[in-house]
Chains A and B, each alone.
Chain A
Amino acid sequence: MSGPAAMPSGTGAPLLVAEGLARHHPLARPHPFAERPVFKAVDGVDLTLERGEIFGVVGESGCGKSTLARLLMALEPATAGRVLFEGEDLLSLSPAALRRRRRGFQMVFQDPYGSLDPRLSVARIVAEPLRLLADGAEGRSRRDRVSESLQAVGLQASDARKYPHEFSGGQRQRIAIARALITRPSLIVADEPVSALDVSVQAQVLNLLLDLQESHGLTHLLISHNLAVVEQVCQRLAVMYLGRFVETGPTAELFKAPAHPYTRLLLEAVPSPDPARRRSRRPIADPAPAPAGGCPFQPRCPLAVARCRSEAPELRTIAPGRQVACHQV
């Protein structure tokens, strides 16, 4: 068991820093002389990952959390901003240098059925990053690396000969994690790693993430729509809404006293598995697209005033380690 919400153990330089990260998609003009509208999937995100922590990003579908993950992994070009991994700007690296760098950060995807090639043996799936990285690990040493990875996620070395269809959903997600571990990365970005899994299996995979953090000192960025999952495993958390972080802070504090009206709305909306706590919710406003100016949450916000419609709030610090983007807090 780790200590209560231990602050990130690494004291030195942060593992990853993102500054002003943005990804804009130009849309079709509504008519030939109109200005080209722009969809802001990610719009100015600053993020610091300390070594050894599990950082969560929560938000609903369309908030940009998956795009953010792909930007941090340099899988998609950014419209603006920088991603510094161990101090090196990933977005300015040459393709060859970026490829070598990739061993340091790996990704786990949501769907353990879609993300494993059914025609490849587990050994080939797990070893694939080594081949792509031209690691040089050949023959015996590659087999050792595969067994080491499989054992780290609680599978048997003998599972290497099997094929994905022989495994259940939870075991497949372990295979996907083993594949991410084989390059001995320091960062794993997991995009909804348990949302395709059943409750009892989800618990196994979440425990595995915690074990890996402890035993290998791994840093995780966990993307999820499930607040309870994030509360269970993440030390720090960011709440994302329409491309921006609206609130960040230590998970326990954020859950105890959510500051942003959107965070409060999210927490209120989660159904409680305790019928005694069944409560009458306040009516919830429908999701709305971002308005042209002002705060993106303003059309749904019960607290919105004139200023919210004219001026977009910046993230500002309200307590040590806690930031909120809201004029009314």
Chain B
Amino acid sequence: MLEVRNLSVGIATPSGPLALVEEVDFRLEAGRTLGIVGESGSGKSMLALALMGLLPPAARASGSIRLEGDELIGLPEAALCRIRGKRIGMIFQEPMTALNPAMTVGEQIAEGVQWHENLGRRAARARALDLLQRVGIPEAARRLDDYPHQMSGGQRQRVGIAIALACRPRLLIADEPTTALDVTVQAQILDLLRELVAEMGMGLILISHDLGVIAETADDTLVMYAGMPVETGSSAAIFARPAHPYTRGLFLAMPGHAGVPAGAGQRLQTIPGSVPEPGRRPSGCRFADRCAYVIEACRAAVPPWEPLPGGQQARCIRLEELP
């Protein structure tokens, strides 16, 4: 349904073009969830904006994004406007700032339907009511005329999901949808997203820095580091047998992960240093400067994808020699 090939995002700077996201490839089938995980500076949010066609004016995407066969890269803004909200639904991190404080939630849900489907006010309002009920807002008929400030953070994110679903999109992109929420509310929202994907047969791209959220929700996982994917495969495989040294390091640094010695006072394993900024990324393997297994060849060129059993892949030339 969605096929992304060799997608890169760069911006022009006085000292030449600067790559923010490089060489992203993935496919997403209807009814499945792809998790994109990475730390800050990994390029995951820039990738999300590129998929939505919402890049800042200075940034440029190249490569190919095909949604149900239609190429999105290079499409004029007017054409993108007909796709965004209609065929691609978007859910953002901060439900308070993503909503318009001066419009009722009912109007905000109905807005897209009226625009994209030329539905009348009445029919759009009926659709909004349906959606509000579907995303689990109690007493939906009464809450339709509420403003965002009258709702809790979790309810606002439910409204955000209702807006994203309003035109029954084929593809849903959620960028850190639960990061601003408490764990108990996060659990509710993730459950809701899972149900909706199964019920409506959408494809979901879930972007998060939280490995737990990805493991719980995504069928497949793409691990990003410093603007580039370093590992991809089914979530079950990646979380059971992470292959790339970065993925392994990330898992072992995370309290609560299976491989981490549990118990108060146990030291965590760390990855030395921090994620390099776009202008300071090493030219070969982006992880070379922080990797414990680095050799000369790692710095010579970007490592190709190495296949692993079960469709898992990692961009590392030393997979076979790793302990």
Name the interface residues of B262-307: CB closer than 8 Å to any CB of A. 262-271, 274-275
Q: Which residues of B contact A202 (CB under 8 A)?
A: 253
Query: Which A10-62 residues have a C-beta within 8 angstroms of B?
Result: 54, 60-61
Q: What 0/1 pattern do residues 161 to 177 of A give for CB contact below 8 A with B?
A: 00000001111000000
Q: Cβ of B92: which chain A residues have Cβ within 8 Å of it?
A: none
User: Which of the residues A5, A206, A265, A271 comes within 8 Å of B255, measured between beta carbons?
Assistant: A206
Which one of A66-74, A182-190, A232-240 is at the B interface?
A232-240
In the assembled complex, which residues on chain A have CB atoms less than 8 Å from the CB atom of B155? 286
- Which residues in window 233-274 of A have CB below 8 A to B? 233-235, 251-252, 265-266, 268-274
Decide yes or no: A273 and B264 within 8 Å by CB, A278-B215, A281-B187 being known contacts: no
In which size bucket is the chain B interface? Answer: 35 or more
Complex contact B264–A251 (CB within 8 A): yes
- A202: nearest residue on chain B (CB-CB)? B253
Residues of chain A lying within 8 A (CB to CB) of residue B264: 5, 54, 231-235, 251-252
Asked whether B120 is an interface residue with its Cβ less than 8 Å from the other chain, the reply is no
Instruction: Assess the B274–A273 pair: CB atoms within 8 A.
Output: no
Do the beta carbons of A170 and B265 come within 8 Å of each other?
no
Q: Is the CB of B270 within 8 A of A269?
A: no
The answer to whether B73 has its CB under 8 Å from any CB of chain A is no
Whether A199 touches B184, Cβ cut-off 8 Å, given contacts A206-B268, A274-B258, A287-B152, is no
In the bound assembly, the distance between CA atoms of A279 and B217 in angstroms comes to 11
Please tell me if B25 contacts chain A, counting CB pairs below 8 Å: no
Q: State which of A5, A227, A268, A275 has its C-beta within 8 Å of the C-beta of B235.
A: A275
B172 to chain A, nearest CB (A): 19
Tell me, yes or no, whether B101 is within 8 Å of chain A by CB.
no
Stretch at the interface among B11-19, B163-171, B206-214: B206-214
Known: A200-B270, A232-B266. A271 touches B154 (CB 8 A): no
Q: B236 within 8 Å of A by Cβ?
A: yes
Q: Which residues of B contact A98 (CB under 8 A)?
A: none
Q: Is B249 within 8 A of A200, CB to CB?
A: yes
Contact B215 A200 (CB under 8 A): no
Query: Once the chains are docked, how many angstroms separate the CA of A5 from the CA of B266?
Result: 9
A231 to B211, CA, bound (A): 17
User: How far does the Cβ of B307 sit from chain A's closest Cβ, in whole Å?
Assistant: 21
Q: How far is the CA of A4 from the CA of B267 in the complex (A)?
A: 12
Flag B186-199 by CB within 8 Å of A: 1 or 0 each: 11101100000000
Docked CA distance A201–B76 (Å): 41
Q: Measured between alpha carbons, how far is A164 from B183 in the docked complex, in Å?
A: 32
Which of chain B's residues have a CB closer than 8 A to the CB of A97? none
CA distance A60 to B133 in the complex (A): 26
Interface pair B187/A274, CB less than 8 Å apart: no
Tell me which of A168, A213, A227, A273 contacts B251 (CB under 8 A).
A273
Measured between beta carbons, the chain B residues less than 8 angstroms from A171 are 274
A276 interfacial by beta-carbon distance below 8 Å: yes
Least CB distance from A218 to B in Å reads: 13
Instruction: Check B255–A232 contact: CB distance below 8 A.
Output: yes
- A210: which of B182, B211, B265 is its contact (CB, 8 Å)? B265
A271 near B39 with CB under 8 A, answer no
Q: Closest residue to B277 on the A side, CB-wise?
A: A168
- Residues on the A chain within 8 Å of B191, using CB: 281, 283
Q: Does B28 contact A (CB under 8 A)?
A: no
Interface assignment of B240: CB less than 8 Å from any CB of chain A: yes
Check B270–A231 contact: CB distance below 8 A.
Answer: no
A228 on the B face (CB < 8 A): yes
A169 to nearest B CB, angstroms? 8
Contact yes or no, A284 B188, CB < 8 A: yes
Q: Which residues of B (242-270) have their CB < 8 Å from a CB of A? A: 249-251, 253-258, 260, 262-270
Given contact pairs A61-B182, A199-B254, A228-B255, A271 touches B263 in the complex (Cβ within 8 A): no
Asked if residues B268 and A271 are in contact (CB atoms below 8 Å), the reply is no
- Complex Cα–Cα for A251 and B263 (A): 8
Residue in A3, A54, A272, A287 whose CB lies within 8 Å of B184:
A287
Say whether, besides A273-B239, A276-B236, A1 and B187 are in contact (CB < 8 Å).
Answer: no
Given contacts A228-B255, A231-B255, A232-B268, A271 and B184 within 8 Å (CB-CB): no
A235-B266 Cα distance, complex, nearest whole Å: 11
Are the CB atoms of A232 and B182 closer together than 8 Å?
Answer: no
Whole-angstrom distance between the alpha carbons of A233 and B209 in the complex? 21
**Shortest distance from the beta carbon of A143 to any chain B beta carbon, whole Å:** 27
Decide: A265 and B184 in contact? CB cutoff 8 A: yes
Nearest-Cβ distance from residue B268 to partner chain A, whole angstroms? 4
Instruction: Say whether A93 faces chain B, with CB atoms less than 8 Å apart.
Output: no
Q: Which of A169, A171, A198 has the most CB of B within 10 A?
A: A198
Q: How far is the CB of A65 from the nearest CB of chain B, in Å?
A: 12
Q: Which residues of B contact A206 (CB under 8 A)?
A: 255, 268
Query: Which residues in A have their C-beta under 8 angstroms from that of B255?
Result: 203, 206, 226, 228-229, 231-232
For the complex, give the distance between the alpha carbons of A200 and B40 in Å: 11
Determine if B216 is an interface residue (Cβ-Cβ < 8 Å): yes
With known contacts A199-B209, A206-B255, A281-B191, A269–B183 Cβ distance under 8 A: yes
Name the residue of chain A whose CB is nearest to the CB of B182.
Answer: A60
Q: How far is the CB of A263 from chain B (nearest CB, A)?
A: 12
Query: Hey, which bits of chain A sit against chain B, CB under 8 A?
Result: 1-6, 54, 60-61, 168-171, 198-204, 206-207, 210, 213, 225-229, 231-235, 251-252, 265-266, 268-276, 278, 281, 283-284, 286-287
Interface residues of B (CB under 8 A from A): 39-40, 152, 154-155, 182-188, 190-191, 209-213, 215-217, 235-236, 239-240, 249-251, 253-258, 260, 262-271, 274-275
Could you give 20 example pairs across A and B, Cβ below 8 Å?
A3-B265, A199-B209, A200-B39, A204-B270, A207-B267, A231-B262, A232-B255, A232-B266, A232-B268, A252-B263, A265-B184, A269-B186, A270-B183, A271-B212, A274-B257, A275-B235, A276-B236, A284-B187, A286-B152, A286-B155
